[in-house]
A and B are shown apart, each in its own frame.
Chain A
Amino acid sequence: MILLLPFLAILVIIVVALFGAAVPGLDFLFGVVFPYAAITVFLLGIIYRVLKWARSPVPFHIPTVTGQQKSLSWIKSSKIDSPHSSPGVVGRMAMEILLFRSLFRNTKMEMKSGPKLVYGSSKYLWLGAIVFHYSMLVIVLRHLRLFMQPIPQFVLALQNVDGFFQVGLPGIYVTDGLIVAALLFLFLRRLYDSRLRYISLASDYFPLLLILSIAVTGILMRYFLRVDIVSVKELAIGLFTFHPFIPRDVGVLFYAHLFLVCVLLAYFPFSKLMHMPGIFLSPTRNLANNSRMKRHVNPWNHPVRVHTYEEYEDEFRDRMKAAGLPLDKE
């Protein structure tokens, strides 16, 4: 069931989209209303969730330190793994967000007879993750060409790099192949690794399948079942400039693609995909290891019951006296 449900959900979404594209009059709903609604939910949803996180204070200073602290002047401290200042924290966060540093550390433990434990380097998850995320980023940026006229220089440049392996027409984008491969890898490892299967929820399979469907419909449109790109751009620019416009004959496949994207956008704020903004707020990563240099203030630091020295001495005075220990009150 955990696997069946996401599959069914994707199927329903595609059927709904095809239905929308086929029934006359519904194109405004699918081409204009849903995209605006989805982007609104996406933006407001993320803001809402991030504000909700931000409203809870950070009571304690709890970075996970992964390198030598700054202490004595002659001991070399690790500026990135144990940052003691803001530039170090920025460096650490950048490494985490841009390079997935923690995941790069990943190891695989194996128990051999004896028992003997061995830890091997294991970079496949890191590789799959980084390929997926960067392909996604490039693809999203490439799509800006549909929303802007003239097309920004960096988008054209990106397009050129991505289409480096041009063989005939249309030029093939490397990222199209990479994202599908990475998504399949991430999906299959959940399925075939028994540990991953055990921990996976329907909400872990669903986004993978959703993004995969978006990629596949996109690829179909570009390379196989071509849609009228001029019409698509007219629609996109219409949305972007708040002058919505529905061109004729954009194609059923396009509506499927667009609707899947709408679902992804609207789903995003309520899902684990929030790890994207969440990493910025993770207190084990975004705090400097300087808590003995600089006092961290907890806004709700409430008083607690304590056992004072006076109470202690009152209880043990006789024995302390007999043992010759100094007293505050004789």
Chain B
Amino acid sequence: MSESKLKPEELAETIKYKTPNRNWMDQKVEMKPGRFSHSGVPKSVEYLQLPNPRKWQPTDPDWQLPENWKEIILEGLRDRLNRFRSLRVFMDICVRCGACADKCHYFIGSGDPKNMPVMRAELLRSVYRHDFTLAGKILGKFAGARELTIDVLKEWFYYFYQCTQCRRCSVFCPYGIDTAEITLLVRELMNLVGVNIDWIVTPVANSFRTGNHLGIQPHGFKDSIDFAVDELESITGIKVEAPINKKGAEILFITPSADYFGTPHYYTLLGYLALFHEIGLDYTWSTYASEGGNFGSFISHDLMKSLNAKMYAEAKRLGVKWILGGECGHMWRIVHQYMDTLNGPADFLEEPVSPVTGTKFENTTSTKMVHICEFTADLIKNGKITLDKSRNDNWKVTFHDSCNPARALGLIEEPRYIIKNACNHFYEMPENTIKEQTFCCGSGAGLGTDENLEMRMRGGMPRANAVKYVKEKHGVNYLGCICAIDKATLPPLMEYWVGGVEVGGVHELVGNALVMKGEKERTTNLRGEPLDGKME
């Protein structure tokens, strides 16, 4: 915690859940260090041809906005009200019952009343009422209406970049009002006048240019995969094939770029490589579509589409039959709920059938993209792979449902089935913190920056708390998850709040347990750590 240096217990002390007696509209936003991110650098903004590239910071008094910024935003709002029924309905039907209030991880971790999802939406709703409803025009503040001012815009920036679009509140809302939808649209509006953050804009620019958010160029990609192949060989004694940009392969495999560049993601990559070799999958990686994640979806529907387009375009160019997708959170929301609409129809692909088991993936007949957990669960069920659970005996595992696979797909049992078949010790966290009620890691939707670390630790507190519970009760030391942002941001969260818990993917566990034909005796897991009883 470079900025605030608060110890966990000190941080917890600062959470009061006290609401001021003053009208919330009378309070100007106070930007607290550690709770917001740096602005987008001009170079990336320019590269993406987005409006108003300039050097600025959120704490600057003058944001250097275009003169008619207000008109631009209101016109943008009008346009979106006409294009999104969701927005129109969500603006009109909230009754402020308060059911969502304590469902937000950021509210729980900060106690800031404007982090209640209802308030987050009211920040926009108040402006909507002022300019788009009769009651608001006549009654003004009494109808909950207020004018869009620079202070309002600053408040938007602060609070709409304190939402990870996890949609937990939407589960509890009696009308299903979806804050993720509102957040994304407000970020679109802010983006119209060049108000954005760098950890979204720069990864988007990288993804646009190189195919992945880390900006890894094709030869770097190949190096990473080759390195992983060598590493896997040293652990298993088997040299696997990892074809790249191979035309005519049956399946295109796309996974988040962190899988081949980040830790602990990397061990999951080793798991994929081992699995694909063992079942003899005819597949290919792609350098052009070398990113499953879609940072565009954190800022606008258009950029979401722009980045997502690479998946189908590459599948078509390579002439594969269908696409298999790795462990990722928001990538899977985009694939499941948006891709076919944005960039389909995928009539050049075939309805996915597992080449190993012959199972037809009936739930993917239109989009033609299968989740790796669906694919592997089917392999296990049909007895096509042998798993030695004891190789994961070092781990006492719990599973963190990543927000999007849980609440956008309903991918709940598949990963659990895999985990239970890959290890002996599995323990669920309390029911209010898993499955459709799962808590966010606290760093999604582009908020995983260092400068935002305090807010991340706050937002991740509910997740960490539930992990701590199973750690103390069952000795859990492995937090499994199927999301690249989780894998990047849960380790510091665990270190801060819990301690002694490692984070890793589901396919890392599969890779550990996978019995491969012709392998040497395994003495270590994929992390290179000695297996129980095989050391000394």
Contacts and interface: CB of A to CB of B under 8 A. Distances in A.
Interface in A288-329: 289-298, 300-302, 304-309, 312-313, 315-316, 319-320, 322-326, 328
Contacts of B99: 102-103, 106, 125
A320 B93 contact: no
Contact of B174 (A100, A194, A290, A298): A100
B19 A285 contact: no
A25 interface: no
B217 A319 contact: yes
A111 B317 CA distance: 54
Interface in A264-307: 270-272, 274-275, 278-279, 281-285, 289-298, 300-302, 304-307
B142 A308 contact: no
B218 A272 contact: no
A23 interface: no
Nearest to A56: B85
Given A198-B20, A202-B142, A272-B95, A66 B302 contact: no
Nearest to A204: B96
Contacts of B23: 2
Nearest to B208: A307
A79 B406 CA distance: 15
B366 A292 contact: yes
Contacts of A328: 317
A70 interface: yes
Interface in A24-56: 49, 52-56
A166 interface: no
A289 B410 contact: yes
Query: Which has the most chain A C-beta neighbours within 10 Å: B247, B341, B345, B377?
Result: B341
B337 interface: yes
A200 interface: yes
A49 to B, nearest CB: 7
Contact of B367 (A55, A62, A292, A325): A292
Contact of A60 (B9, B144, B337): B337
Interface string B420-458: 000000000010110010000000000000000000000
Given A199-B96, A301-B341, A304-B306, A293 B430 contact: no
B93 A275 contact: yes
Interface stretch (B69-77, B355-363, B514-522): B355-363
A233 interface: no
B99 to A, nearest CB: 5
B499 interface: no
Interface string B283-317: 00001100000000000011101100110011001
Interface stretch (B274-282, B411-419, B476-484): B411-419
A54 B84 CA distance: 10
A196 interface: yes
B167 to A, nearest CB: 6
B173 interface: yes
A58 B314 contact: no
Interface string B475-498: 000000000000000000000000
Given A64-B171, A72-B359, A58 B341 contact: no
Interface residues of B, number: 119
A268 B17 CA distance: 34
A222 interface: no
Contact of A111 (B15, B103, B178): B15
Nearest to B369: A292
Nearest to B24: A198
Contacts of A200: 96
B86 A309 contact: no
Interface stretch (A12-20, A112-120, A134-142, A241-249): A112-120
B410 A69 contact: yes
Contacts of A177: none
Given A69-B409, A279-B93, A201 B414 contact: no
A51 B110 CA distance: 40
A2 B139 CA distance: 12
A310 to B, nearest CB: 10
Nearest to A292: B367
Contacts of A149: none
Interface of B: 9, 12, 15, 17-20, 23-24, 49, 81-89, 92-99, 101-103, 108, 113, 116, 118-119, 122, 133-135, 139, 142-144, 167, 170-178, 181, 208-211, 217-219, 222-223, 244-247, 287-288, 301-303, 305-306, 309-310, 313-314, 317, 335-338, 340-342, 344-345, 359, 361-367, 369, 374, 377-378, 381, 406-414, 417, 430, 432-433, 436, 461-462, 465-466
Ordered nearest first, which 3 A-B pairs have the shortest CB separation? A69-B410, A278-B93, A284-B176
